Amino acid sequence: MLRESITAVVLGLALSWIALRFLPGRLPPSRVVFVTGGLGGLFGAYLTHSTLGSGHFLAVPTGAVLVGAVTLSLLIRPRGSGPVRSAAAQ
């Protein structure tokens, strides 16, 4: 279980690095992206392991990558927009 967790975090961080490399202007600060990717990968591994049980060595990292990618996709801003300000701040 520990190896699955470490693998999931590493895969989430790798996804974060790829996202920052290809979408530099459309993501929040890199610290937020790396934390989100790592935690998304860890949650994906936990969810997949809880659903399928032990013994699925390829399914758990796949679930980690998929959930990590989904959580990172929630951070992407529309093209050409700056930081979003709340209505109360305007």
> From the first residue on, what is the mean pLDDT of each consecutive set of 10 residues in the chain (90 residues)?
90 96 91 96 95 89 95 87 66
| Cα–Cα distance measured from residue 70 to residue 41, given in angstroms and rounded to the nearest whole number | 10
| Cα–Cα distance measured from residue 33 to residue 36, given in angstroms and rounded to the nearest whole number | 5
- Best CA proximity match to 65, nearest among 18, 11, 19: 11
pTM: 0.83
Q: What confidence score (pLDDT) does residue 57 get?
A: 87
Residue for token pair 């994906």: 44
